[in-house]
Amino acid sequence: MALNNLADLFHDELRDILSAEQQLVKALPLMVKKASCPDLVKAFQDHLEETEQQVERVQEAFADTGKASRAKTCEAMRGLIEEASSMMKNDADPDVMDASLIACAQKIEHYEIATYGTLCTWAKALGYDNALTLLKQNISEEEKADKHLSELAVRINESAMT
């Protein structure tokens, strides 16, 4: 794909985050199964529902670009999910596994927050008002999920120390 201007770059990055969210939809159920803390399980389940909505919003955001909603493989998310998968294969105390899952999930959240922040900046510059509204909803949910994971980590990390 030729990237001749900011609109091309925006479209390319939108394709990337669509892939990232689609990959996460597949990965979160595995994290749900591996988590032992009921609050963490619920956080992952809730975020799975949000992520499914985020996929739809990203697909809707393509309308502003005038181009088809088509994902391109997000290699960054692939790597983050591979790291989480590798961690989940460890024989770990349940509290230690939960602490590990939170760490992996927060790496994912931070990647998404960074990407959505960039996309929002570009959407605003390009006058893609509908895309901007949709992407702001996504970044807000990602920030909320990250904050909730941090809150859960306080208790889980303490339990993992013993």
CATH of residue 128's domain is 1.20.1260.10
Measured CA to CA, the distance from residue 150 to residue 147 in angstroms comes to 5
Mean pLDDT split into 10-residue runs, the chain, 162 residues: 92 97 97 96 97 98 92 98 95 94 97 98 98 98 97 92 85
Lookup result for tokens 């999910």: 81
Q: Is there a contact between 80 and 147 (Cβ–Cβ < 8 Å)?
A: no
User: What is the domain extent for residue 15?
Assistant: 6-66+73-160
Tell me, what's the pLDDT at 162? 81
Indicate whether 1 belongs to any domain.
Answer: no
Indicate whether 113 belongs to any domain.
Answer: yes
Q: Cα–chain-centroid distance for residue 3?
A: 25
Of 76, 71, 80, 134, the C-alpha closest to 103 is 80
Of 88, 111, 113, the C-alpha closest to 101 is 88
Number of structural domains in the chain: 1
Q: Is there a contact between 77 and 111 (Cβ–Cβ < 8 Å)?
A: yes
Distances in Å between the alpha carbon of 3 and those of 8, 32, 132? 5, 38, 21
